[in-house]
Amino acid sequence: MEPIFALAFGVMIAVAAYLILSRNMLRVLLGLLVLGNAANLAIFLAGRLGSRVPPLVEAGEATVAVSANPLPQALILTAIVISFSLVAFTAVLFENAYKRLGTLDPDAMRDAETPPGEGLRDDERRE
Amino acid sequence: MMRANLLLALPVLCPLAGVALSLLAWRWPLVQRGVSLAASFGLLLSAIALVGAVHDGTVLATQFGAWQAPFGISFVGDMLSAAMVLIAGLMAVAVGIYGLAGDASAREYAFYHPLYQGLLLGVTGAFLTGDIFNLYVWFEVMLISSFGLLALGGTKAQLDAGVKYVTLNLVVTTQFLIAVALLYGATGTLNMADLALVLPTVENQGLVTTLALLFLVAFGAKAAVFPLFFWLPAAYHTASAPVVAIFAALLTKVGVYAILRTFTLMFDGDTGVTAPIVGAIAAATMITGVLGAAAHFDIRRILSFHIISQIGYMLLGIAVATPLAVGGAILYVIHHIVVKANLFLVAGVIHRAGGSYHLKEIGGLYRGLPLLGVLFAIPALSLAGLPPLSGFWAKFGVIKASLDAGHIALAVTGLAVGLLTLYSMLKIWNEAFWKAAPERSVAAERRWLGEPGTRVLMLVPISALATITLAIGFWAEPFVDYSLRAGAQLLDKSAYIDAVFPPETAGGARIQESVP
């Protein structure tokens, strides 16, 4: 099982890198989403795949012999919530940026970047 | 034991209450102001109590939910984290007061106060946590608040900057999360004190070095080191003065703190690989930062590049890793937070009183506002490291340590960068204060003199921070002593580990979790 999942992790990282390097912010957003899920898969893998018995201790016993590790699942749950909220925020931010700046190409977004020595028009732009 | 719990929880609970209450009061800006200021003062007072409890070298630790250490979530306060929390509290109050001045009401309807307290919450949590996954969570709390604060106002430049800042930071924190996952796979634990015990016993030490470098990249990008600093000058100059001041004070320093913590506690075994890399990064960071500052003419951009340059000095201390070097780095962090926040606050006043952030459009401020000139000169000269100001002692510690350890090239780089820092500070001085004033600047100055309330709110925090800079400079001994002892405590990690795993419970309670 592990090699397949490790391969899937690698493929997801590659896809995410390809998308994030794109010159379209929508694809960058999708890339961030894939990257976040690749990280979740990494946590899952790090906790070892294997038996799916829930880690519940039966009455009268002190330990469970073979059970799933609950910690990675708790970590992934946290990470999913965080990456979901951040991607939601990013989607809204990108949409606003598209509305105000009129482009989805990050190379064409030049409002915060001006050549050295000329960065004076920021104040005028604000008004 | 109850006391330790409370002391460690209060610096996090105060901003948390600040977030909740100021969100509830979002319709009433005056209530928000009161709540926000009260939470900031609460943070400062609880931080003073925390420093009071740990300044003699004791390490406080608590486990939330009463789970034993490697399983529960630890909060640990040692001398370094207490000092960082204290300085964060100080900044919270100073920038909080400054943030009430001028055009504050526009910000307040856009959730300025809840986001501001959220940022403080993330920062203090990151300083106090003893669990590496929790560090990731606090990083995210800090990040989402900083995203909101940066986009506050929604101008074109801010949205453009926000797109880049958000994307780059998300990629790096995700990479941090992947590194945490691999660390868990290698060791089966995420508690930092437990990791300090387990990592040396990992058979595959090459994997440990790889993990160390992954964490270095993640924290290095947060701390804006070469070559991962590009998001900082692309974004910081678009935010409003109080926002950029609190960013400059705290955000990159959390990265530096994380490097200090992980590379003294967890990854101190293989310095043969990481130390030269950190040293090279430190030199490159100092040089590129200061050259960027020398090239620009927008005050905020100059100061943004100086943040990068100064991070290099802190890394220098981490790379050399002698007790004096680490102590010097800690003093440097403390001094730099005060000075840098103050410079950005002064830049905000220059913008108001001069009408622009661009040096070519302003001038002659010294004639009408001599006090502002003095208040700029104190942090500016301290940043350049001129004696007897605070920057001198910090720089002296770091550079003397690198000379002692035989890193001559690094020390010479540090001194040369100090000269260039002085040059770019003199550039601001000459252009903004000394040369003849353009008309626009004169008009803005007249308007500024007609706003007594704004003037008081802006100048009081600036004067207070300048006083602290002077105090560290002229009365350096307690600060140097504290930093050196904090550095020694970092290098001798036994106190930290003993606090998380109390020796009296060591035999029975500490179960070495077998990796499944």
- Residue-wise pLDDT for B348-367, tens only, equals 888 888 878 888 888 888 87
CB atoms B171 and A20 under 8 Å? yes
Residue A37 in this model has a pLDDT that exceeds 60: yes
CA dist B489 and B76 (Å) reads 13
pLDDT for B297 equals 85
- Would you give the distance in Å from CA B136 to the centre of its chain? 16
Range of the domain at B353: 1-498
A20-29, A41-50, B396-405, B412-421: the lowest-pLDDT one: A41-50
Chain B CB contacts of A123 below 8 Å: 356-358
Residue B508 lies in a domain: no
The domains of chain A, with CATH numbers, are: 2-49+69-106 (1.10.287.3510)
The whole-number pLDDT of residue A115 equals 53
The DSSP bridge partners found for residue B64 are B73
Residue B62 has φ and ψ, to the nearest 5°, of -145, 150
The string of pLDDT tens digits covering residues B451-467 is: 788 888 888 999 999 99
Residue B275, domain member (yes or no): yes
When pLDDT is cut at 50, 70 and 90, the band that residue B504 belongs to is low
Which residues does residue B73 pair with via DSSP β-bridges, in sequence order?
B64
Residue range B112-136: mean pLDDT, rounded: 93
Give the integer Cα–Cα distance in Å for A79 and A47. 14
CB of B129 within 8 Å of a chain A CB? The answer is no
Q: What is the mean pLDDT of chain B?
A: 87
pLDDT band at A120 (very low <50, low <70, confident <90, very high): very low
User: Residue B466: exposed, middle, or buried by beta-carbon count in 10 A (0-12, 13-18, 19+)?
Assistant: buried
Predicted confidence (pLDDT) at residue B23 exceeds the cutoff of 60: yes
Residue A42 host element (H or E)? helix A25-46
pLDDT value of position A52: 67
When pLDDT is cut at 50, 70 and 90, the band that residue A72 belongs to is confident
In a domain, B452, yes or no: yes
Structural domain tally of chain B? 1
Token pair belonging to B346: 């002064």
DSSP bridge pairs for B75: B62, B129
ipTM over 0.85: yes
Flag whether pLDDT at B514 surpasses 50.
Answer: no
- Residue B457: its pLDDT value, please? 86
Let me know: does B110 contact B152? Beta carbons within 8 Å.
yes
Which H or E run includes B76?
Answer: strand B73-77
Closest CA to B171 of A19, A107, A50, A113: A19
Which member of A42, A89, A111 has the closest CB to residue B160? A111
Is residue B270 very low, low, confident or very high in pLDDT (cuts 50, 70, 90)?
low
Residue A67 has phi, psi (to 5 degrees) of -150, 165
pLDDT class of B215 with cuts at 50, 70, 90: very high
CA distance B210 to chain A (A): 15
Q: Does B174 touch chain A (CB under 8 A)?
A: yes
pLDDT (0 to 100) of residue A46: 85
What is the reported pLDDT for B439?
75
Is B468 a member of any domain? yes
Question: Which of A49, A82, A104 is the best substitution to test chain B (most B C-beta atoms within 10 A)?
Answer: A82
Q: Indicate yes or no: CB of B160 within 8 angstroms of CB of A112.
A: yes
pTM of the prediction?
0.91
pLDDT at res. B339:
93
B509 lies in a domain? no
Q: Is residue B180 part of a domain?
A: yes
